[in-house]
Amino acid sequence: MVMGSLRQKADVVVIGAGPGGYVAALRAADLGKEVILVEAREQRGGVCLIEGCIPSKALIHASELLEETKSAKKMGLTFKADVDVDQLRKWKGQVVSGLTKGIDGLLSKRGVEVVTGYARFENSKSLAIEGSDVAGIDFKHCIIATGSRPIHLPFTEDKGCWTSKEALDLPKIPKRLLVIGGGYIGLELGFVYAGLGSKVVCVEFLDRVLAGADRDLSDVVKKSAQKRFEKLMLSSKVTAVEKKGDDFEVTIETDGKATTETFDAVFVAVGRKPNTEDLGLGKTKVEVDDRGLIVTDEQCRTADPNIFAIGDITHGPQLAHKASREAKVATETIAGHNAAFDNRAIPAVVFTHPELAWTGITEEEAKEQGKNVRTGVFPFAALGRAKTLGNAEGMVKVIVDAESELVLGVGIVGPSASDLIAEATLAIEMGAVLEDLMVTIHPHPTLSESIMEAAEVAGDACVHLPKPKKKADAKA
Ligand code: NAD
């Protein structure tokens, strides 16, 4: 264990250089604070940049490009595509290192001091740093942004099974890959490996995939996975994994019936847990709940007045953009601004094929909460631009309050759902009503028209779908 002898002081110390931490460090510096950013890894960027969102999106793009070379045949285009795994891995690495250097440049231009080492609280005003020349840091305020790590199942640990970290390293293209978990990570990387040539079997505990989204939307991804994977096993669980030579012998239970199958690789994607247990939080007043999450208020302040917490270690979705927003709230609060995390909508995006995105409330949540809502659904199959892309799978669903017509939520499954969801999120934040979406001129021919069309369906004014029969007409 390396312990230095230097002691430093800062207005704000940020622990963790992911999309929560590095954004907090930059913003705090812009607000005139002396900032130290402590990061245990050699690179800045956190899981999102180094072994999460960015490398996965690079691989998803590459594997979808490969898929497009196959589907272009219907347009009269034929390609012979080969996969050079070493070059693909290298390119993904270049994307990551380019962005990491970008963050380092931003930090150094703002005078943020970066300390590489592992931070633990000594008390509510100081940190001890392990593995650095800097022994400790005294602070006025600290922002904890230590993120999360993948969970293993009791029988997958120490058996050479992959988590997202190993899967993103692209160690090989297994002939037959078992993915445990049909959530964000399991499906996104399941599609990548299927695209690169693996026979993918995905085992999901629930009777559906991507349980956070409405079922009618996630079912579109489910059907696509059923086409691209060898098997999607719902209402199933893995109960044992044994290493047999280079292979994995896996027991899978469905409806109480166990089967044994052999795979070349096993990838565990059953959720992530917060990195809070080894921070010395017991030496502060910070409160941690039974799931290891730090309890915070609207300003991202913990029970300890000098200490803030943001990102995956706090309540709410484990999403980079939520962490970045919280970073701004925490730093602006520290700087004495009137800031609060009072966002009405946090968009969620799953980069599958097709992409799935939702924001605000889902229709299922609205029903659970007893809200009286109206919905409008428009299929991409009726949209010119989607047809020209040769990719018209999916739909847009707009959810509004039945009386006030306030836009409460939007769900999109289909081409560029990841980008389209931003307009819907802005609409919810701005308190838009249905008419705002209906009368806003959307450029033609674009995918963005699908949101206007879905709003028009909800407003009974859509001309691009057959006129729905009124209840009275239907009776006549
Ligand atoms: P997840 O919660 O999205 O999905 C885990 C899935 O595993 C669930 O569907 C669950 O029912 C299933 N499961 C749990 N135990 C199981 C078992 N024993 N057998 C079979 N299935 C089991 O978790 P994740 O995919 O690991 O992702 C973690 C978090 O990371 C996500 O919640 C998300 O917030 C974040 N993430 C976001 C993105 C993105 O924004 N595009 C991408 C990746 C990850």
- Yes or no: say if 144 and 16 are a contact pair by the CB < 8 Å rule: yes
- Yes or no: say if 177 and 199 are a contact pair by the CB < 8 Å rule: yes
Q: Which CATH architecture has domain 348-458?
A: 2-Layer Sandwich (3.30)
Identify the pLDDT of residue 237: 97
Count of CB atoms within 10 A of residue 199's CB?
A: 16
Report d(CA 359, CA 346) in Å as an integer. 6
Catalytic residue among 61, 152, 315, 444: 444
Q: Give 428-431 contacts, CB < 8 A, sequence gap 24+.
A: 428/344, 428/345, 428/359, 428/360, 429/343, 429/344, 429/345, 431/406
Q: What is the DSSP string of 459-474?
A: TT--SSSPPPPPHHHH
Nearest ligand 1 atom to alpha carbon 212 = 3
Nearest ligand 1 atom to alpha carbon 181 = 7
Report d(CA 373, CA 399) in Å as an integer. 7
Alpha carbon distances (Å) from 328 to 23, 55, 320: 7, 25, 13
Low-confidence ranges of the chain (pLDDT < 70): 1-3, 470-476
Ligand 1: distance of its center to the CA of 310 in Å? 20
Please say whether the dihedral angle defined by the alpha carbons of residues 345, 361, 52 and 145, taken in this order, is positive or negative: positive
Is 321 one of the annotated active-site residues of the chain?
A: no
Q: What is the DSSP string of 173-224?
A: --SEEEEE--SHHHHHHHHHHHHTT-EEEEE-SSSSSSTTS-HHHHHHHHHH
Identify the pLDDT of residue 452: 98
Ligand 1: distance of its center to the CA of 164 in Å? 11
Report d(CA 456, CA 424) in Å as an integer. 14
Count of CB atoms within 10 A of residue 110's CB?
A: 14
Per residue in 54-98, pLDDT tens?
999 999 999 999 999 999 999 999 999 999 999 999 999 999 999
Ligand 1: distance of its center to the CA of 281 in Å? 27
Identify the pLDDT of residue 104: 98
Mutate to test the pocket of ligand 1, among 205, 413, 421 (most ligand atoms within 8 A of CB): 205
Count of CB atoms within 10 A of residue 401's CB?
A: 17
Same topology for domains 164-270 and 348-458, yes or no? no
Identify the pLDDT of residue 476: 44
CATH class assigned to 6-150+273-334: alpha beta
Q: Which CATH architecture has domain 164-270?
A: 3-Layer(bba) Sandwich (3.50)
Pocket lining for ligand 1, CB < 6 angstroms:
153, 180-186, 188, 203-206, 211, 237-238, 269-272, 317-319, 349-351
Identify the pLDDT of residue 168: 97
Identify the pLDDT of residue 469: 76
Tell whether omega for the bond before 445 is within 30 degrees of 0, i.e. cis. yes
So where are the chain's domains? 6-150+273-334, 164-270, 348-458
Ligand 1: distance of its center to the CA of 408 in Å? 25
Report d(CA 9, CA 239) in Å as an integer. 51
Closest to 66 in 3D by CA, of 78, 81, 56: 81
Identify the pLDDT of residue 471: 55
Per residue in 145-184, pLDDT tens?
999 999 999 999 999 999 999 999 999 999 999 999 999 9
